Amino acid sequence: MTTDNDDWKIIERVRAGDDYAFDALMERYSRPIMNFIYRMIGNAAEAEDVTQEVFVRAFQNIQKPALYQTTAAFSTWLFQVARNAALDCLRRKKRHPETSLTALEDGGDTTPGAGPTAAEAAVARETGERIAAAVARLPEDQRTAILLSEYEDFSDAQIAAVMKCTRKSVEARLYRARHFLRRQLAALLG
């Protein structure tokens, strides 16, 4: 298990000129950041692009003293950057909507093999799509809180730091989000 202290040691190496040390941070956080962004914006290709943007922003800010003025963990700061980048992406998409060719095509690729049957895979895919659609309908603040809580296992205090709000506000957002999701997914949950 890595600690925040490990992150700050790596950052010190980057600040000292060891650009390869940043690779360790990218290796540690790229998957969780990309998963978070994907859940925020719902597009894998865009999530990859935004994740790269997050790490570019992080690398640029490592040299700035303001990074050290934060009382939060480096991972919390990085998720703040990711949240802001995802929101920027969503704003761009709202201003310039587009329909991709893959969104117009039917079906997905199915690979034969030892795994769930085609029917089980279809049910699992449909369930996942329904959950993702319900989460996407949440207001942005509730969506961010639920994603950080349920998928990234952040504490209420960490979520409050990412969202720059109080813990009580986080608790209220999580309560409203869970209540909304229960109502939306009642038929699915049985």
Which pLDDT belongs to residue 112? 44
Which candidate, 130, 126, 140, places its Cα nearest to that of 86?
A: 140
Domain range enclosing 138: 117-190
Residue 1 has pLDDT above 50, yes or no: no
List, for residues 29-66, the tens digit of each pLDDT value: 999 999 999 999 988 999 999 999 999 999 888 888 77
In the predicted structure, residue 105 carries a pLDDT above the cut 70: no
Q: Which one has a higher pLDDT value, 12 or 128?
A: 12
Q: Read out DSSP for 166-177?
A: -HHHHHHHHHHH
Q: How far apart are CA 120 and CA 132, in angstroms?
A: 18
Q: What is the pLDDT of residue 61?
A: 86
Does residue 146 contact residue 177 with C-beta atoms inside 8 Å?
yes
CATH of the domain at 177: 1.10.10.10
Residues 38 and 70 in one domain: yes
Whether residue 67 is found in the same domain as residue 133: no
Average pLDDT over residues 88-102: 68
pLDDT at 179 over 80: yes
Least confident of 4-8, 42-46, 123-127: 123-127
pLDDT in the model for residue 3? 65
Q: Of 98, 125, 154, which closes a domain?
A: 98
Mean pLDDT estimate for the chain: 83
Q: Is the pLDDT of residue 20 over 70?
A: yes
Residue 111 pLDDT: 43
Number of folded domains that form the chain: 2
CA distance 75 to 78: 5
pLDDT of residue 151: 86
Domain boundary among the residues 98, 125, 140 is at 98
Residue 110 lies in a domain: no
Residue 103 lies in a domain: no
Q: How confident is the model over 16-38, as a mean pLDDT?
A: 92
Read off the pLDDT of residues 136-145 as tens digits, 9 standing for 90 and up. 899 999 999 9
Domain containing residue 89: CATH number? 1.10.1740.10
108 falls within a domain: no
With a threshold of 0.85, does the pTM exceed it? no
Do the domain assignments include residue 70?
Answer: yes
